[in-house]
Amino acid sequence: MDLSGIVAAAKTPPPPPGASYVVEADSESFEQVLAQSVKYPIVLELHSPRANAKELSQALAELANEAAGAWLLARVNVDTNPQIAAAFGIQAVPAVLGVIGGQLAPLWQGTKTKEEAKAFIAQLLQAASANGIVGRAQPVSVDASAGPDPRFAAADAALAEGAFDQAVAEFDKILSATPNDPEAKAGRAQAALLARVATIDPATVLARAAAAPADVEAQLAAADAELMGGATQLAFNRLIELVRNTSGAQREAVRVRLLELFETVGPADPAVLKARRDLMSALF
């Protein structure tokens, strides 16, 4: 299991403020846009002003920009590009499809809430990762009027330099002032995870955990390695089982680590939602 790519990605500078990952595609640009699906996933939104689905369009744009290039949103107005809708056999809009490596993956038809859409797209990203499509899109445009949040400047700089422990300290400073800041909590969890795994050998860590199922520290390290390797559900299941089999301070330490991993993955991820339910069952 090679973590170098993940660690390198963490060192990549964050996208500029106001970056947009939404492109308006038409019959002339459509094939060129979809050709990029060999590098990163494309979410294709077929829409019409007549469909009264502005909330869905807004939610998709927000999700695309929040993902910061993990996928690109390509929007097609079927009223002005009916041949594209006909090519896909779309009878009603809005309709949303995924494109991975040039292959279509129907997602849904009709409207969805932002959280529902995020869950569908999370599945698309998992499929893309399984097929080795893990590149990042460049911003389509940048809003020059959007300024950076100065609170995160020091933490972002530390991450870019690979100074993960320093990044944790910088996020802690933010959280001391705003304890419930979701962006700071997620950033701290991610930086802490990277600090723990940057120098480990995953195979050794997993072997040690297999040989010592009662060793809490070994199991915590194994969960980190599994999460970084993409085995999210295995990592969660490992720690939930550890919660069931520990008590007192050990159990609390495992619970806290599990909550940190939830922050790393994202609170709306389907695996996190399931694991939260399983954790409640394990605790009570």
Domain check: are 162 and 73 in the same one?
Answer: no
- CA distance linking residue 89 with residue 57, whole number of Å: 21
The range of the structural domain enclosing residue 115 comes to 18-141
- The 3-class SS string of 60-118 reads HHHHHHHHCCCCEEEEEECCCCHHHHHHCCCCCCCEEEEEECCEEEEEEECCCCHHHHH
Domain check: are 127 and 241 in the same one?
Answer: no
Residue type, position 255, single letter: R
**DSSP per position, 170-233:** HHHHHHHHSTT-HHHHHHHHHHHHHHHHTT--HHHHHHHHHH-TT-HHHHHHHHHHHHHTT-HH
Q: Domain count for the chain, please give it.
A: 2
Domain check: are 277 and 232 in the same one?
Answer: yes
pLDDT at 231 over 70: yes
- Per residue in 107-122, pLDDT (tens digit) is 999 999 999 999 999 9
Q: Which of 120, 141, 162 is the last residue of a domain?
A: 141
Q: Which residues contact 233 (CB under 8 A, 6 or more apart)?
A: 271, 274, 275
Q: Report the range of poorest mean pLDDT among 66-80, 130-144, 195-209.
A: 130-144
The β-bridge relationship of strands 103-109 and 95-100 is antiparallel
Domain check: are 184 and 99 in the same one?
Answer: no
Torsion of CA 75, 79, 80, 85, to 10 degrees: 60
C-alpha separations of 99 from 28, 45, 73, 245 in Å: 18, 11, 10, 43
pLDDT at 26 over 70: yes
Residue 248 burial (CB count, 10 A): 7
Domain check: are 178 and 109 in the same one?
Answer: no
pLDDT at 91 over 90: no
User: Does residue 1 belong to any structural domain of this protein?
Assistant: no
The β-bridge relationship of strands 42-47 and 95-100 is antiparallel
Q: Which of 91, 112, 141 is the last residue of a domain?
A: 141
Q: Which of 104, 121, 141 is the last residue of a domain?
A: 141
For the chain, how far is it from start to end, CA to CA, in angstroms? Answer: 35
- CA distance linking residue 214 with residue 196, whole number of Å: 20
Comparing CA positions, the residue from 187, 235, 250, 180 lying closest to residue 1 is 235
Q: Which residues contact 95 (CB under 8 A, 6 or more apart)?
A: 45, 46, 85, 88, 108, 109
Domain check: are 172 and 262 in the same one?
Answer: yes
Is the pTM higher than 0.85? The answer reads no
- CA distance linking residue 265 with residue 276, whole number of Å: 12
- Per residue in 128-184, pLDDT (tens digit) is 988 889 888 888 886 656 556 678 889 989 998 999 999 999 999 999 988 877 888
- CATH number of 89's domain: 3.40.30.10
User: Does residue 22 belong to any structural domain of this protein?
Assistant: yes
Record the tokens describing residue 222, joined without a space: 């194994």
